[in-house]
C-alpha cells in the first residue's frame, strides 16, 4: 500500500481489557486505511500482572506504534492514577503530535486522555458517552463528555442526553456499540478452541455460567458483606462457573480475597482476564451471566443469554425487561440461579447492528469532522 504523506495521526487510548474490546473494530478500520497513521497508548489495568498483564494481549494482535505506560501499582489511589496518566500521556502526545485522540467510556484513563487533549488543542473523540449507570462511573463519563469535541454514541437516547448537557448536535454521531461488530463477526473461535486456550479439559464445563463482579466505589462499606453473600450463593448452587477478576477500582482486593474460597473447587475456573474474542465465545455458549458487569446487560442480551444482575452498579443501564435484577442477598441470588433456566432473553437491539466501525470510518474520512472547533461552546436547549 502506497504511503500517504498527509495522513492524519490518531491515538487510541486503552486502559482496560474491556475498553480495548470496545475499540478494537475501530482500530482495525484505521489500521487498514491509507488515510491515517494510528498509535495505541496502553496503560491502566493492562500493565498489572495481577490482572493478567493484558498489554501482551494487545501486542499479540500485531499492531504497530504501541506505547506502554505504567500509571499505577495495585495500591495506587484513583486520584493519583489520574494525575500519573495525565503526565505520561501529555508527554506522549507532545512527542507524536496527534490530530485526534480516541477514548472510551468512563474510566480514569479516559478522563486523563480527555484532559490532555482539550488542554493541548487536540480533537478528542469519545466513544459511548451519554449513558447512565447510577454510580461514580457515570460522573466520570459525563465529565469526559464535556472535555471531548466529538461524540460517537450508541443510540439516540444517549445523543439526546448529550444535547441536554449542552453539546453541539452536529458533533454527535450515533454509531452503535463497536464491540457488537466483533460479536457478530465470523472470526470467533469455537468453544473447544477457547477451552484449549484457557486449559479447560474438553469434556468438562459443557454447561457453565459466567461470573463477573466489580466493586462499586460508593458502596465500599457494604462490599465485604455483599461479595460474601454472593460467593456463598454461587458455591451452594453447585453449578459450573467461569470467574473473571474484577476491574482494579478501589475494593477489588476485598473481592479477590473472597474468591480464595473458589480455590480447589473443580466447578470454578478463575481467570485474571480472558482475551475479548475468547470471552465472547465463552459468553455465547454460557447458560447465564451473573454479577454486576455491563457485559451482562449489554453483550449477553445480544446473544440471548440470560443475566442475573446483582446490586446497583448497572441500575440505570438495564434496558431489557427480561434481565433479572436482585440485591446482594444469598437467598435471592440462589432463587434466581435455580429459576434461570426458565428465563428467555429477547434482544432489544438498543446498542446497534454490528456496523459501528464502518460508520465511524465514514465519519472520520469526512473533511467536516476535522473542522469541528477546538473551542467548545455550550448549546442551550431550544
Render pLDDT for 215-244 as a digit per residue (tens, 0 to 9). 998 899 999 999 999 999 999 999 999 999
**Rounded percentage of the chain residues whose pLDDT exceeds 70:** 98
User: 176 — alpha (psi -120 to 50), left (phi > 0) or beta?
Assistant: left
Lowest mean pLDDT among 157-171, 221-235, 262-276, 345-359: 345-359
pLDDT digits (tens, 9 = 90+) for 277-329: 999 999 999 999 999 999 998 899 999 999 999 999 988 776 788 999 999 99
Domain segments of the chain: what residues?
8-184+354-371, 191-342
For residue 96, give the C-alpha cell.
507524536
- Looking only at the bridges linking them, the beta strands covering 8-14 and 324-326 are unpaired
pLDDT band at residue 1 using 50, 70 and 90 as cut-offs: very low
Distance CA(141)–CA(119), nearest Å, equals 18
CATH 3.40.50.2000 fits 191-342, yes or no: yes
What is the spatial distance between Cα 293 and Cα 365, in angstroms, rounded to a whole number?
Answer: 34
Residue 91 φ then ψ, to 5°: -60, -40
pLDDT the model gives residue 5 = 66
Name the DSSP letter for residue 351.
Answer: T
Beta strands in 255-335 (DSSP E): 268-271, 288-291, 307-310, 324-326
Contact predicate 193/277, CB 8 Å: no
pLDDT at 351 over 90: no
Which own/partner contact pairs does 46-52 have at CB distance under 8 Å and 24+ positions apart? 46/14, 46/15, 46/16, 46/17, 46/20, 47/71, 47/72, 48/72, 48/73, 48/74, 48/248, 50/74, 50/248, 50/272, 51/17, 51/245, 51/248, 51/272, 51/273, 52/17, 52/245, 52/271, 52/272, 52/273
- DSSP letters, 84-142, are HHHHHHHHHHHHH--SEEEEETT-HHHHHHHHHHHHTT-EEEEES-S---SSHHHHHHH
Q: In CATH, what class is 8-184+354-371?
A: alpha beta
Same fold, 8-184+354-371 and 191-342: yes
What is the DSSP pairing of strand 268-271 with strand 288-291? unpaired
Amino acid at each position: 500500500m502506497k504511503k500517504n504523506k498527509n495522513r492524519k495521526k490518531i491515538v487510541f487510548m486503552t486502559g482496560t481489557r474491556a475498553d480495548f474490546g470496545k475499540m478494537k473494530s475501530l482500530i482495525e478500520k484505521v489500521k487498514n486505511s491509507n488515510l491515517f497513521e494510528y498509535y495505541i497508548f496502553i496503560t491502566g489495568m493492562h500493565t498489572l500482572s495481577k490482572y493478567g498483564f493484558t498489554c501482551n494481549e494487545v501486542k499479540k494482535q500485531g499492531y504497530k506504534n504501541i506505547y506502554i505506560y505504567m500509571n499505577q501499582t495495585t495500591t495506587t489511589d484513583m486520584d493519583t492514577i489520574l494525575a500519573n496518566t495525565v503526565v505520561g500521556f501529555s508527554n506522549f502526545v507532545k512527542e507524536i503530535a496527534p490530530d485526534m485522540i480516541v477514548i472510551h467510556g468512563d474510566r480514569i484513563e479516559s478522563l486523563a486522555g480527555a484532559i490532555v487533549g482539550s488542554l493541548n488543542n487536540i480533537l478528542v473523540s469519545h466513544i459511548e458517552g451519554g449513558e447512565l449507570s447510577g454510580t461514580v462511573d457515570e460522573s466520570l463519563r459525563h465529565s469526559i463528555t464535556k472535555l471531548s469535541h466529538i461524540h460517537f454514541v450508541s443510540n439516540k437516547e444517549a445523543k439526546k442526553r448529550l444535547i441536554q448537557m449542552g453539546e453541539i448536535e452536529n458533533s454527535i454521531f450515533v454509531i452503535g456499540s463497536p464491540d457488537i461488530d466483533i460479536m457478530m463477526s465470523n472470526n470467533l473461535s469455537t468453544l473447544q478452541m477457547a477451552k484449549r486456550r484457557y486449559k479447560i479439559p474438553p469434556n468438562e464445563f459443557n454447561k457453565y455460567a459466567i461470573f463477573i463482579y466489580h466493586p462499586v466505589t460508593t458502596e465500599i462499606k457494604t462490599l465485604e458483606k455483599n461479595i460474601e453473600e454472593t460467593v456463598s450463593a454461587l458455591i451452594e448452587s453447585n453449578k459450573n462457573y467461569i470467574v473473571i477478576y474484577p476491574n482494579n477500582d478501589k475494593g477489588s482486593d476485598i473481592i479477590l480475597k473472597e474468591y480464595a474460597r473458589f480455590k480447589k473447587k473443580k466447578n470454578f475456573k478463575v481467570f485474571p482476564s480472558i482475551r475479548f474474542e475468547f470471552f465472547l465465545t465463552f459468553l455465547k455458549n454460557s447458560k447465564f451471566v451473573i454479577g454486576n458487569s455491563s457485559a451482562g446487560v449489554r453483550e449477553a442480551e445480544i446473544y440471548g443469554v440470560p443475566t442475573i444482575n446483582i446490586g446497583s452498579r448497572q441500575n440505570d443501564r438495564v434496558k431489557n425487561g427480561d434481565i433479572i435484577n436482585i440485591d446482594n442477598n444469598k437467598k435471592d441470588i440462589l432463587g434466581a440461579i435455580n429459576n434461570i433456566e426458565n428465563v428467555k432473553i429477547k434482544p432489544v437491539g438498543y446498542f446497534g447492528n454490528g456496523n459501528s466501525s464502518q460508520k465511524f470510518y465514514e465519519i472520520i474520512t469526512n473533511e467536516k469532522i476535522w473542522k469541528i472547533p477546538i473551542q467548545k461552546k455550550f448549546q442551550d436547549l431550544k
